[in-house]
Structure 1
Amino acid sequence: MEFGKSIVAKSLKSKTGRSAEMDPRIWSKLPPELLEHILSFLPLKTFLNLRSTCKRFKSLVFSPSFISKHSSASQFSSFLLLSHPQCYGYFPLYDTIRGAWRNLALPFSFLSPSAAQVNLLSSCNGLLCFSLPNSSSFLVCNLLAKSSRVIEFPLFPFAFEMLTLVSTPDGYKLFMLCPKSSSNDALVYDSKDHSWTQHDGFQPLLVQNFHQEGASFNGSLCFATAEPYSAVSFDLDKGTWETLNTEMPGELTFVRLVSDTDGGKLYLVGGIGRNGISRSLRLWELGNGGRWVEVERLPELMCRKFMSVCYHNYEHVYCFWHQGMICVCCQTWPEFVLQGFKEKLALDTQVSFTPRQVELWFQVVLFCT
């Protein structure tokens, strides 16, 4: 990146020290991915002011890959977004850098009164997916670009589970299971051509956890099955299922899969115990040869506290990855566990909720960047 900075500096200054126009012969030859990487280091306000100078710059705010790079480069981009299905339009943001709540209203003014009830379902690289129950559709928002798209349900009536929003180089895809069909069909929406495709479901049934999304890994979504536990993947391009050729750790009481999409790694979060009671919470990484390699264990005191608030009902437990950390949450308790990898740190984090938030507690917790 230092080399890139020197090119920029030399192109902006003449020998006399005065500002000069950038040589288009140099900048026009830069590969698009390199230019995108350089622009991701600009402050957001500066970049937004540049949009009118180039069609390519204007289109970048619609690019999930650029949003992801910009979020990684910025130290003020990490927020904890909370949602409750009975509080329509109420989405408090927790600033993880400053450790404080922010009053930020999401722009739903463009919705008609009949579609005012929205439920947050999934997020990915700055994109948010909501359901609009009253209008039988989904709503996908790009807050940076201030754009949105309403996607009608493919069937009426339509029931779905495990909805997962996945960003792609040219847009995004929505994955979900249709539990009321005879074969538990999988449905995929592709924003590139605005189309739905239907695929076979998977038997045996996947783990019944309405808050756990699929883990994106190597172009597929990975899920854990019910007991006896195993890991399966769904190829988003081919629409096919495959059982991962790996042996699961022994004495598992529950399983959740989490992925680091930037690092290309797949993790398993699981409880270890007998008779359905967890005595330990551990973390494994999928290594070479399809082996699960244990990398961390939650400290005993912290583990006991977390398991006690779950009442050993692990359907309430769900996990997600965010910027070098795995967040382990329980739907019934306003605390969560963060496992850091860079610092090898386990934290029992209690966010200061308002009385209204504690009374309601939030059934979906997502990081939004």
Structure 2
Amino acid sequence: MFKHLIDQLHDLVDLHGFPPPPPPIPTVPPSLHHHRWCFLNLENGLFENDCDNILMKADKSRTTQKKQKQTENDGSNESLKEEIWKYFPEELYETVIARLPIATFFRFRSVCQNWNSLLKSKTFTLQCAQFIPPQPWFYLKTHENINSGAMYDPVFKKWHHVDIPKMPTNLMILPAASVGGLLCFHDDGHRKLYVCNPLTNSFKELPARSGKVWPRVAVGMITNKQSNMGGYQIILVATNGEYEVYDSTINRWTGVGSLPDCINLPLSFYFRFQTVAANGLMYILRSDPHGIVSFDIDSRVWKQYLVPPPPHSRDHTLVECGGKIMMVGLVTKNAASCVSVWELQKMTLLWKEVDRMPNVMCLEFYGKHVKLFCLGNSGLIMLSFESERMNRLVTYDVSNKEWLKVPEPFKSPELRTDRGTAFQPFKSPQLRIARGAAFHPSLTATA
């Protein structure tokens, strides 16, 4: 029966000349057309171009509607934003601005007179005191430009050159210590000392000392916790055991004395030695015999700890991280040199290695006589490697155990301060550091 029906259909087609039926519509996966709808013209059949034209018109209409709505929303948002910022509390401006990066703050001060006068605002000072910068900056003086300083911002990896207007230019003034946002400088004979904030140019020349000239002196700076007025204290210790203490709250030298008999004299400091402060104590690294000398700033008590150095190590520098006393130095075996980081164990008074520079970075020193000089403060260390044909700077984050090369100094933009002084890019392709100090940049620290 089915075959007979098909034969009749063929006869009808041959008799009346009906056109053949249209080919079947191919099925296309929905993903290829992105879920588009195609419309079938029942009179003329299916035309893909018509589908595309219809879709294009539909897309244009939707786009036009979106643009109209966006324009209406933008207009309403503009008026809405004006209404919001019109009633924004003034005290919140200071809260936000106090947490801006230092370089951003100096750029924002040109917005209006109120923002320009923030450094003189007591409420802004309180806001800044509640916020501690994530990482310290480094202030350096190089052999190439000993009378001018360079600052490195490790957060934005930028170099800045800065001149301190009130600093004497007829003497060689070197940075020696820091506390918070303040730096302590001294001349060659340590006859005169200066304290300043390199960002705001707050400057003070300390009163005259006892007049003694010490060829080699360790300089420490620590917060004055005994005084309700805050402030800071500066300690000078000579190799012969004599020392003096300056108190900023009374602006004079208060302590002049000698180290107790329990301290081995003379003190032999490491070349370009660094002092660190932790938990109210000042620490100095000494050699011959190797160890650490500590000074309690409140009780005026000196102590000595004989700690042997790690084997095959040299060029040691003390650093502090979270109240822990640590040391950085070069370990040399045969022709290979590597940088190691040790932590002082309180129970055993021994150095325990906690990290080492990656081998890829150490390969650059192979076969070279490298000198290491370090600056450290609050968990961040800058290492300077010097040899006859190489000068390299590297930063080390103690907490994250991260080693990073410091970028070339001549690629940094300009940073302008409040008095119009420009922090120019530091342009010295060979950085041979003479002296330096790490400090926490502060907009409100006063000398």
Q: Tell me, which stretches of 5 or more residues in structure 1 are unaligned? A: 1-15, 24-35
The answer (yes or no) to whether the contact 1:129–1:140 under 8 Å persists in 2 is: yes
Deviation of 1:203 (Å): 1.8
Distance in 2, Cα, partners of 1:349 & 1:53: 35
Against the structure 1 CA distance between its residues 290 and 145, is the aligned structure 2 distance closer, same or farther, given a 3 Å change threshold?
Answer: farther
The letter for the 2-side match of 1:237 is D
Find the structure with the greater CA-based Rg. 2
Give the corresponding residue for 2:256. Answer: 198
Matched residue pairs, number? Answer: 319
Distance in 1, Cα, partners of 2:175 & 2:320: 21
Deviation of 1:205 (Å): 4.2
Deviation of 1:199 (Å): 3.1
Q: Secondary structure at the match of 1:363?
A: strand
Distance in 2, Cα, partners of 1:223 & 1:146: 29
The answer (yes or no) to whether the contact 2:182–2:198 under 8 Å persists in 1 is: yes
Give the corresponding residue for 2:243. Answer: 186
Given the alignment of the two structures, is residue 364 of structure 1 paired with residue 364 of structure 2, yes or no? no
Instruction: Specify which of 319, 331, 349 is matched with residue 374 of structure 2.
Output: 319
Distance in 1, Cα, partners of 2:367 & 2:208: 39
Against the structure 1 CA distance between its residues 134 and 163, is the aligned structure 2 distance closer, same or farther, given a 3 Å change threshold?
Answer: closer
Give the corresponding residue for 1:30. Answer: none
Distance in 2, Cα, partners of 1:307 & 1:123: 34
Per-residue CA deviation, residues 42-71 of structure 1 (Å, 9 max, x unaligned), is 6755877456564x655x59xxx939x442
Distance in 1, Cα, partners of 2:185 & 2:367: 32
Given the alignment of the two structures, is residue 66 of structure 1 paired with residue 129 of structure 2, yes or no? yes
Deviation of 1:119 (Å): 2.8
Instruction: Specify which of 177, 180, 183 is matched with residue 237 of structure 2.
Output: 177
Q: Tell me, which stretches of 5 or more residues in structure 2 are unaligned? A: 1-83, 412-425, 442-447
Distance in 2, Cα, partners of 1:347 & 1:258: 18
The answer (yes or no) to whether the contact 1:206–1:223 under 8 Å persists in 2 is: no
Give the corresponding residue for 2:352. Answer: 293
Distance in 2, Cα, partners of 1:250 & 1:78: 28
Distance in 1, Cα, partners of 2:176 & 2:402: 29
Percentage of identical aligned residues: 21
The answer (yes or no) to whether the contact 1:81–1:93 under 8 Å persists in 2 is: yes
Distance in 1, Cα, partners of 2:202 & 2:293: 34
The letter for the 1-side match of 2:324 is K
The answer (yes or no) to whether the contact 1:331–1:364 under 8 Å persists in 2 is: no
The letter for the 1-side match of 2:342 is W
Give the corresponding residue for 2:403. Answer: 346
Give the corresponding residue for 1:131. Answer: 186
Against the structure 1 CA distance between its residues 349 and 359, is the aligned structure 2 distance closer, same or farther, given a 3 Å change threshold?
Answer: closer
Against the structure 1 CA distance between its residues 234 and 323, is the aligned structure 2 distance closer, same or farther, given a 3 Å change threshold?
Answer: closer
Per-residue CA deviation, residues 90-140 of structure 1 (Å, 9 max, x unaligned), is 2233443444433x43331x4577x56533333332212222469941111
Against the structure 1 CA distance between its residues 334 and 47, is the aligned structure 2 distance closer, same or farther, given a 3 Å change threshold?
Answer: farther
Instruction: Specify which of 247, 262, 284 is matched with residue 342 of structure 2.
Output: 284
The answer (yes or no) to whether the contact 2:274–2:317 under 8 Å persists in 1 is: no
The 5 A counterparts of 1:28-177 are 40-41=98-99, 44=105, 45=109, 49-50=117-118, 54=122, 57=124, 66=129, 69-72=131-134, 79-84=137-142, 87=145, 89-102=147-160, 104-108=161-165, 110=166, 117-132=172-187, 136-159=191-214, 160-168=216-224, 170-177=230-237
The answer (yes or no) to whether the contact 1:165–1:175 under 8 Å persists in 2 is: yes
Deviation of 1:232 (Å): 2.5
Distance in 2, Cα, partners of 1:229 & 1:133: 26
Distance in 1, Cα, partners of 2:168 & 2:404: 42
Distance in 2, Cα, partners of 1:90 & 1:184: 32
